[in-house]
Amino acid sequence: MSTTSFDSDHPVGRGPARRWSFAHTALVAVTLLSALAAVLWPSRARAQGVVVSPPTLLIDHRVRSGALELFNPGDRAIEVRIEMLFGYPVTDSSGQFGLETPATPPAGMRAATGWVEAFPARLTIPAAGRQTVRFLARPPATLGDGEHFTRLAITSKFAAAAAGDADAAAIRTEFSVEVRAVTTLLYRKGTVSSSVAVANANTSVRNDTLDVRVDLAPGGNAAFLGTVTYMLENTAGAAVATLDQPVSVYVPVRPRAKLSLADVAPGEYRLRIRARAERADLPAGVILPTPAAELVVPVRIAPR
């Protein structure tokens, strides 16, 4: 008798046990493959953008170099161009975050844009291929301690999509598409510290929304990278509405947050605004240990 078995507790030939084992295995296989399809389906696009890892590159002054890995998950080659771009997040009059990209870094900003280079800066990544891009820093000798930064503009160029008629008398059109995604390079030298101050909160209720504006100001010689949690508490201290807002504070900003009050009864509350140095989307090591900052303001929710 063959030793091949799908269930060692039941010898081959005991039909029901063997059939159950097959069925069970098949069921698990279908489940796993379905899960695989569910995970992979969203990224099975026609032309896929390059995957950058890590999402934020950290370079230490003692090493002065770092590397990004670019992965092309698509089924055709992608041309990639890497450029340095100076920029930092600011908030506009409505409290929306945007990236300010002045041509020249303002005085006092710790810009690394002029002295970091990518090698190679232009490359072609084959289908399903990976390529390492190295970054070499040549900081000025007078560079002070602190965190210096630049943005990396990574442009992927997809092959033109041809359309139209094969007829020589026809009009044929081709669009080429470029996608420029911007990520961050941080360069740290010497003693680096970060802090944040939370102040001047204004609140207003509109329909079922609590609208909050608050000042966030960075301290130390590095940006504050963290999360602001807005927690509306009742008089017993229980949270009735919460919102997490990831923030990067390079300059004073005044973001807007909107908490849903759909399930909140009218009454007296307090809003706890807490900025802490935690970010789920950034790699370990990028976040500097920073004391949390907090502000609590009273909020009255009128009948509506």
Q: Is the peptide bond before 255 cis (omega within 30 degrees of 0)?
A: no
Report the distance separating Cα 83 and Cα 58, nearest Å: 17
Among 105, 114, 183, 278, binds other proteins (CB under 8 A): 183
Residue with tokens 């504006």: 213
DSSP string, 52-76: EESSEEEEETTT-EEEEEEE--SSS
Among 180, 206, 300, 304, binds other proteins (CB under 8 A): 180
Report the distance separating Cα 229 and Cα 226, nearest Å: 10
- What residues contact residue 292 under an 8 Å CB cut-off, 6+ apart? 274, 275, 276, 277
Instruction: For residue 27, state whether it binds other proteins (rule: CB under 8 A).
Output: no
Report the distance separating Cα 158 and Cα 160, nearest Å: 6
Instruction: For residue 252, state whether it binds other proteins (rule: CB under 8 A).
Output: no
Per-residue mark of binding to other proteins, 185-224 (x: CB under 8 A): ----------------------------------------
Report the distance separating Cα 204 and Cα 196, nearest Å: 24
Which residues on neighbouring strands pair with residue 153, listed in sequence order?
A: 83, 182
Instruction: For residue 301, state whether it binds other proteins (rule: CB under 8 A).
Output: no
Q: Rounded to the nearest whole angstrom, what is the least distance from the CB of residue 131 to other proteins in the complex?
A: 15
Q: DSSP 3-state assignment of 164? A: coil
**Which of the stretches 112-120, 163-171, 193-201, 212-220 binds other proteins when contact is defined by CB under 8 A?**
163-171
Residues in the interface with other proteins (CB under 8 A) total 71
Q: How many CB atoms lie within 10 A of CB 252?
A: 13
**Which of the stretches 102-110, 178-186, 270-278, 296-304 binds other proteins when contact is defined by CB under 8 A?**
178-186
Instruction: For residue 33, state whether it binds other proteins (rule: CB under 8 A).
Output: yes
Q: Which is nearer to other proteins, 63 or 170 (CB)?
A: 170
Instruction: For residue 176, state whether it binds other proteins (rule: CB under 8 A).
Output: yes
Q: Rounded to the nearest whole angstrom, what is the least distance from the CB of residue 143 to other proteins in the complex?
A: 24
Among 1, 141, 262, 280, binds other proteins (CB under 8 A): 280
Residue with tokens 């010689």: 221
Instruction: For residue 121, state whether it binds other proteins (rule: CB under 8 A).
Output: no
Among 14, 134, 172, 206, binds other proteins (CB under 8 A): 172
